[in-house]
Amino acid sequence: GAGVSQSPRYKVAKRGQDVALRCDPISGHVSLFWYQQALGQGPEFLTYFQNEAQLDKSGLPSDRFFAERPEGSVSTLKIQRTQQEDSAVYLCASTISSTGLSSYEQYFGPGTRLTVT
């Protein structure tokens, strides 16, 4: 079956532009996570959805970052007025866990590499 897919794979934005990054999780996966991976670092948690509900957005670095998952499947991470420090790989992961059942093994997409110039 298909894994997690992300688009675009690469995005170059001029400082101040808005960008939208898309994630298609594995079909049937309830939980969806966004992570940011800076060069030479490990992925860092941004936000978490269970179905369409955004249950944790504590990792979003500023109010310029916004994520949504309106129908509980595809998710979009939007960054407004991009800054150079936003340059990173943005990873999406999904897992099958639902209320009452934990699943720690997250399946990651290939990521979107964002470069802000």
Task: Report the distance separating Cα 111 and Cα 8, nearest Å.
Answer: 9
- Which of 4, 21, 26, 60 binds another protein (CB under 8 A)? It is 4
Task: Report the distance separating Cα 61 and Cα 90, nearest Å.
Answer: 13
- Which of 56, 78, 81, 115 binds another protein (CB under 8 A)? It is 56
- Which of 24, 43, 94, 114 binds another protein (CB under 8 A)? It is 43
Q: Is 59 in the site for another protein (CB under 8 A)?
A: yes
The answer for 51, left when phi > 0, alpha when psi is -120 to 50, beta otherwise, is left
Question: Which residues, 80 to 99, sit near another protein by CB under 8 A?
Answer: 91, 93, 95, 97, 99
Q: Is 74 in the site for another protein (CB under 8 A)?
A: no
User: Which helix H or strand E contains 88, and what residues bound it?
Assistant: strand 88-95
CB atoms within 10 A of CB 79: 24
**11 strand-pairing partners:** 114
Residues at the interface with another protein (CB under 8 A): 4, 31, 33, 35, 40-45, 48, 50, 55-56, 59, 91, 93, 95, 97, 99, 102-111
